[in-house]
Chains A and B, each alone.
Chain A
C-alpha cells in the first residue's frame, strides 16, 4: 500500500475524531508501527484537534451545574479512596481462591457426611426394630 495515498485517504482524521471502525483502527495501529510518516501525521492531527476543541473551553456549564459536577466528583473520589484496599487486593483482605486440591478435600468431606447420615439412619431403623421386637406381648 502506498503510504501517502493511505494518509490522504482521510482515515487519520476519522480515527482521531473517533469515527473509524474497529477494523480500520486495527489496520492503522499496525501500520503506524511500520511507517513513521503515518505516526507523525496522526500526532499532528491529534494536536490540531486538541487545539481546536480547547478553543471552546470557555463555554462552561451554568455555574450551578458546574458546582454540582465538582461536588459529585469530590464525593466519587472519596468513595473510590475508601474502596481502594479491595481493588488493590492488599494484605488485609486476603484473596481466597479454591485450588483443585482444596476442591477435592471439600468433596471428601461431603462424601463422609453422606456416609454418616446413612449410618445414623440405619442405626435408627435398627433401634426401632429392636425396640418393637423386645416389647412384651
Chain B
C-alpha cells in the first residue's frame, strides 16, 4: 500500500477555507489550488486559447486570490464566483497586453474551442454525457459567457443577434442547463 493512501485527505468547508486563507495558511492555499486549478485554468484557456498564457494567468490569479482574500465578502457571493471574476479579469488583461498581441494568437471562437465537444461521444457518461445533449445554440451561449471572456456586444456580433437579446438568451440557455443538471 502506498504512503499516500494512508495519508488522510483533509476537506474544508468553504467558510473554513476562507477563514484559514485570511490567516495566511499555506495548506489551505494548496488545497484551494488543487481543488480549483482545473476549473480556473479552463476559464483562462477559454479566453486566451493558449496553454502558456493561460498558465501565467492561473499563476497571477492565484497570487491575487492569496493577496486579496481579505477583500472577499461571503455575503456578496460564493468564493468561486469571486475567483472566476479574478481569473477572467487577469486573462482579459493578458489578452490586451502587447506581448500577447504580438504573439498573434488571437482567433475567434470556433466549434473546436468548445470545452465539451458538440459531437456525441459514446464514452461520455454521467452529467458530462447528459450535457452533450444540450442544443448547440445553448452550449455556445454558455461557453461564450462563462469561458470566452466576451462582452455582451461581442457575443451579439459573434452570434449575429441583437445586443438586447443576449441577456435573455443566456438566461434561457442556463435554465435548460439547470434542468439537465437537476435531472442527473
- A residues bordering B, Cβ < 8 Å? 8-14, 16-19, 29, 42-62, 65-66, 68-70, 72-73, 76-77, 80, 84
Contacts and interface: CB of A to CB of B under 8 A. Distances in A.
Contacts of B160: none
Contact of B42 (A44, A49, A57): A57
Contacts of A68: 55
Interface residues of B, number: 53
A43 B174 CA distance: 14
Contacts of A55: 116, 127-128, 131
A9 B41 CA distance: 30
Which of A13, A42, A60 has the most CB atoms of chain B within a 10 A radius of its CB? Answer: A13
Contacts of B171: 8-10, 12-13
B181 A50 contact: no
B22 to A, nearest CB: 13
B44 to A, nearest CB: 9
A14 B39 contact: no
A29 B76 CA distance: 8
Interface stretch (B4-12, B98-106, B144-152): B144-152
Nearest to A39: B75
Given A52-B146, A69-B59, A17 B42 contact: no
B51 A62 contact: yes
A17 B167 CA distance: 11
Contacts of A12: 171
5 contacts: A18-B85, A49-B146, A57-B42, A72-B59, A73-B62
Contacts of B55: 61, 65-66, 68-69
Which of B33, B167, B169 has the largest count of A CB atoms less than 10 A from its CB? B167
Contacts of B178: 44, 48
B170 A52 contact: no
A14 B152 contact: yes
Interface in B23-67: 24, 26, 29, 33, 36-39, 41-43, 45, 51-52, 54-55, 58-59, 62-63, 66-67
A69 B45 CA distance: 14
Contact of B77 (A46, A60, A69, A80): A46
B32 to A, nearest CB: 11
Given A56-B39, A77-B66, 8 more contacts: A19-B151, A43-B78, A50-B80, A53-B42, A55-B131, A57-B37, A59-B45, A68-B55
B42 A80 contact: no
A13 B170 contact: yes
Contacts of B58: 61, 69
A46 B80 contact: yes
A121 B44 CA distance: 69
Contacts of A72: 59
